[in-house]
Amino acid sequence: MRRGILLYPILVATTVLSADDYTALFREAAADTQQGKYEEAVLKYKAALAIRPGAAEALNNLALMYYEEKKYADALATAEKIWATHRELKSAALITGMAAVQCNRPREAIAPLKQLLQVDATNRDALLALASAQLALGDFDEAARTYERETGYSPDDSMAWYGRAICYENMAERASKELARVPGGAAFSKRLLAEYLQSTGDGKLAQEAFGEAEALSSSSSSEAAGRYERARELAEKSRRAFEKLTQIAPDSWQTAVFLGDVARQHGDLTTAIVQYKKAAEQQPENAAPLLGLGTAYWEMGDFDRAATYLQRTLELNPTAKQAVFELANIAVRGHRDKEAIPLLKDYLAAQPDALAARADLGRAYAHLGLYKDAAAELTKAAISDERGDIHYELAMALNKVGRTTEAEVALEQSKALRKAQLERERRLHSDQ
């Protein structure tokens, strides 16, 4: 049994025949539970409830059985009935919160778990479930604080350290995006990029990015400098948390996912796949290793295999937006545009600044002949164009809707970007 989830003991036995039957069924069900016979226990708790409808102790234990059988919707529906009328039952609050997380209804998990933690502050299951709910809602700061509470109580909890690292990583990414939008932030954004490229071993590209950062430094501001330091601090906290994870649990699935991520960031996709598969063998029902595998195969260009893992990821975790984007990108590449458009819209609803998704949405519209919509999306995405491809596609869409002057400008910009990219590639190759 997981720490924090307890069977509710039967407290009263009476001499009434139906009550005696209830008591006997309850005790038999509890015995089945201790032996791991969850299906038998479910049937007996249901029979007990037929005798005494609404009995809190039987409902509580039935909810637990559903949870152990991974019937999370049934567990949530049952536990909510108890928690609504018996707020004093810690187990009901815990199962309600944990089942809500498993059902991808994180908002419903917050209140019962917070209430439980007010009276049972060190409950590991409640802390990890609460942090998972906060993470799913994108509240990375709160999730990080909850994971920090758990590592304070259990310094070697690998799950909590993994969660901390993920939270800091997301916070660092968000801080980097905010940095790019503040006055004078361009220089510091380039510096962050240069430092990342340097950490992955791309020395030539890092050197070039440092040079661009220096060229932009005259426009930097104190606000941008502060945000830059914050982004670096969060990235370092994420690195240290992952380092702690590898020390305390070198053979864990979390460490394998982390090592897979590192290998993938360094372009070593073969090693990344080995690590993700190692994690998936340990945790076949966990979405994280499958998302890693899907992303690695996607980056490798093995789109059929990538799609298999990405679809399985979403079956296990419908909130995995990265999987949504990658599946949509695969669909656009295959000209399955009617399939791609709702996926891209869903992704952009959560990530409105994701310019790569904007570009894919524009391409999908263009493939379907919806050139006005294509031009609108490609115009938004054009700021991210480094190779000239997006400007070229934009020019084609603008031409189709009769905006020829704008199309000519976009085409010239495409040619200029393409020329600059070719010169850059020649310069980098000549320096090798």
- Domain segments of the chain as ranges: 17-136, 320-432
The sign of the CA dihedral 345, 350, 352, 354 is negative
- Distance of alpha carbon 81 from alpha carbon 59, whole angstroms: 8
The sign of the CA dihedral 107, 113, 114, 115 is positive
Q: DSSP assignment of 40-94, as one string?
A: HHHHHHHHHHHHSTT-HHHHHHHHHHHHHTT-HHHHHHHHHHHHHH-TT-HHHHH
Residue 427 is predicted with a pLDDT of 72
- Distance of alpha carbon 279 from alpha carbon 164, whole angstroms: 19
Residue 219 is predicted with a pLDDT of 65
| CATH of the domain spanning 320-432, picked from 3.40.50.300, 1.25.40.10, 2.160.10.10, 2.120.10.30 | 1.25.40.10
Residue 188 is predicted with a pLDDT of 66
- Distance of alpha carbon 395 from alpha carbon 415, whole angstroms: 11
- Secondary structure (3-state) at 403: coil
Tell me, yes or no, if the two domains 17-136 and 320-432 fold the same way.
Answer: yes
Of the candidates 156, 162, 113, 118, the one whose C-alpha atom is nearest the C-alpha of residue 133 is: 113
**Residue type (1 letter), 94:** L
- In the numeric block, the tokens 């637990």 are attached to 64
CATH 1.25.40.10 fits 17-136, yes or no: yes
Tokens of 30: 């509890």
Phi-psi region of 250 (alpha: psi -120 to 50; beta: other; left: phi over 0): alpha
Residue 268 is predicted with a pLDDT of 93
Residue 15 is predicted with a pLDDT of 34
Of the candidates 143, 165, 173, 105, the one whose C-alpha atom is nearest the C-alpha of residue 318 is: 105
**Residue type (1 letter), 186:** A
Phi/psi at 284 (nearest 5 deg)? -65, -20
Any alpha helices (H) in 137-268, and if so which ranges?
140-153, 158-181, 185-199, 203-216, 222-248, 253-265
Task: Give the Cα-Cα-Cα angle 294, 288, 133 (nearest 5 degrees).
Answer: 135
> Who contacts 20 (Cβ-Cβ below 8 Å, separation ≥6)?
13, 14
- Distance of alpha carbon 309 from alpha carbon 128, whole angstroms: 26
Structural contact between residues 131 and 161, judged by C-beta atoms closer than 8 angstroms = no
Residue 147 is predicted with a pLDDT of 97
- Distance of alpha carbon 254 from alpha carbon 200, whole angstroms: 21
In the chain (432 residues long), the average pLDDT of successive 10-residue segments reads: 48 41 85 84 86 86 88 92 85 94 93 95 96 94 97 95 94 84 67 63 64 65 80 90 94 94 91 97 94 97 97 91 96 97 94 93 97 97 92 97 96 93 75 54
Of the candidates 90, 96, 94, 91, the one whose C-alpha atom is nearest the C-alpha of residue 78 is: 96
Residue 37 is predicted with a pLDDT of 86
- In the numeric block, the tokens 């949504």 are attached to 324
Residue 431 is predicted with a pLDDT of 56
Structural contact between residues 324 and 315, judged by C-beta atoms closer than 8 angstroms = no
Measure CA 71 to chain center.
Answer: 22
- Secondary structure (3-state) at 255: helix
Q: DSSP assignment of 287-327, as one string?
A: HHHHHHHHHHHHHHT-HHHHHHHHHHHHHH-TT-HHHHHHH
Phi-psi region of 89 (alpha: psi -120 to 50; beta: other; left: phi over 0): beta
Tokens of 85: 């009328």
